[in-house]
Amino acid sequence: MNSRVKEAVRYLGYGRHAVDKKTERLVRDSFEELDRIAKGRIVYRIFELNISDDGRVKIGELHITSKNLAKNMRGCRRAVLLGATLGIEVDMLMKRYSLTEMARAVVLQACGAAMLEEYLDEWQQEYEKEALKEGFYLRPRFSPGYGDFDISCQEDILRMLDAAKKIGLTITDGHMLTPTKSVTAVIGMSKEKVFCHKKGCEECRKADCIYRR
C-alpha cells in the first residue's frame, strides 16, 4: 500500500485493522479519478509576525489569540498565510456519487482529504527550499480550528490573501470553505535551525521540543 492509500484508509477509520480488498480497490480507483479531475491551487503571502508575552499573535494586521499557536510560533519573525484547494470539480464528483453510490462518495471524501494534505506537503517541501535561501526554517502548518486557534480566522486569512479572486476559495456563513476540499493555514518562519516534521508535531519524535503545540 503506498502512502496516500494508507492515509486515506486511516481517514476511513480502519486504524490498525486490515482493510478489505474491495475497499482498497475503491480507494485506488478514487485516487485515479481524483488525479484526473482535481486542480490543486494555492495562494500564499508572507507577513511580519509579532507574538506578545501573553500569547497574542499578530500576523500582518491579523490578531489571533491562541496559546497553541503562540507556543508553536515562538521565536519566528515572519509567517506564511496560505489557502489551498483541490477545486470545485472534486465537490461535483462527490455530490454525484452521494446520489448514486454512497460507499464511493465516502471513500472519495477520505481520498480528497489525503490528496489535499499530500498537495500541501509537496508545496511545503518546495517552499522550504526557497525560505532556506533567505535563512528561514519553517514550523509546521497550523490551521484555524486546530486546538484553540479560532476557526473564524479563516475569513480574515482568505480576505488577506484575496483568495476568492486568486483561486476561487470562499467561505460560507457557517465557516465552511468552498470548495470543500480546501484549507487555510499559517506557517511560522524562524531563523533558528529547527527541522520540523512535515506531518507536524503529532508525528514528530522531538519529545522535548519547546515549540510543540
Q: Which residues bind ligand SF4 (CB under 6 A)?
A: 72, 139-140, 194, 196-197, 200-201, 204, 206, 209, 211-212
H or E element: which one contains 42? Answer: strand 41-51
CB of 48 to ligand SF4, least distance (A): 20
For ligand SF4, which is the closer residue by CB, 28 or 74?
74
CB of 187 to ligand SF4, least distance (A): 11
For ligand SF4, which is the closer residue by CB, 147 or 200?
200
Q: How far apart are the first and last CA of the chain?
A: 30
Q: Which residues pair with 178 in a beta bridge?
A: 170
Structure letter (DSSP) for residue 93: H
CB-CB contact of 168 with 85 (8 Å): yes
CB of 8 to ligand SF4, least distance (A): 23
Distance of CA 175 to the CA centre of its chain: 16
Distance of CA 46 to the CA centre of its chain: 17
CB of 111 to ligand SF4, least distance (A): 25
For ligand SF4, which is the closer residue by CB, 35 or 203?
203
For ligand SF4, which is the closer residue by CB, 11 or 211?
211
CB of 212 to ligand SF4, least distance (A): 4
For ligand SF4, which is the closer residue by CB, 36 or 129?
129
Output the CA angle 211-195-1, nearest 5 degrees: 105
Report d(CA 191, CA 172) in Å as an integer. Answer: 37
- 70 three-class SS: helix
CB-CB contact of 65 with 55 (8 Å): yes
